[in-house]
Amino acid sequence: MDRSTGSSTLLASEKRAAVASAGSTTEALSVNRALGAICRSDVVALVVEAMACITEQVFLFFFFLSLLLNILIAERIEKEGKGCVIVVNKWDTIPNKNQQTTAYYDQDVREKLRLLDWAPIVYSTAISGHSNNSKYSYLKEFQILICRILAAVGTVEKERSRRLGTSILNQVVQEALAFKPPPRTRGGKRGRVYYSTQAAVRPPTFVFFVNDAMIFPETYRRYMEKQLRKDAGFPGTPIRLLWRSRR
């Protein structure tokens, strides 16, 4: 564990997993080292404090500092194509929880970390063991927490390494095209997708061969990614869509 950065490297199923946390001033000063740990990892567990998910904060400075660091880390995770699990820490410290609390926090985390809207969320409780009588309970709670996080990391790594059959991929694409046809140019030329194929994994990368890539705006490309995730999965990993003109 690197105490100066709040990040560590774990070995899970022979895959590296960085645990990135952005909740203190010390970590803010050493953020470059935390970002470096992300680059060397396969899956990142981004730890956010439960109270930092609430909009109404007493210590606004530290709240926004934590939020900015989390966004910075999220940007690096997406840019590097790393898998991610969001860990909401100290969930048990939230008062007056009810059936809607988890849904509220899910939505709040998604809004604050929009680049990672594909990442699963794991809720963890605060672990404390200050007396000898609580050592066994502390170790048991810690073991359960680590197992939950590593189970999520393992699932994400499988998705990050998964290949989608070409026939299934093109079926998903054709259904998306039928539901929302590609746009036309001002001259009336409509975009056409000839076929698609998966070119790589870790992260999953898909190539779309089209008549003219310039016809497909960013909004349509995001739509296609959304439909691909909806019908084919890939939770916990960024995916890349490459558009190639075929003249």
Tens digits of residue pLDDT in 42-53: 999 998 887 655
Q: Which of 87, 148, 84, 166 is nearest to 117 (CA)?
A: 84
Burial of 213 (0-12, 13-18, 19+ CB in 10 A): middle
**For 95-108, what is each residue's pLDDT tens digit?**
887 778 888 889 98
Strand partners, 172: none
* 196 or 1: which leads in pLDDT: 196
Q: Are 156 and 240 in contact (CB under 8 A)?
A: no
pTM, two decimals, is 0.81
What band does 21 get if pLDDT is binned at 50, 70 and 90? low
Residue 199 tokens read as 């070119």
C-alpha span between 6 and 14 (Å, rounded): 22
CA distances to 86, 154, 195 from 168, in Å: 29, 24, 12
Structure tokens at 188: 């009336």
- Under a CB-based contact definition with an 8 Å cutoff, are residues 175 and 230 in contact? no
Is pLDDT above 90 for 3?
no
Give me 51's structure tokens: 């109270």
Q: How far apart are CA 111 and CA 116, in angstroms?
A: 9
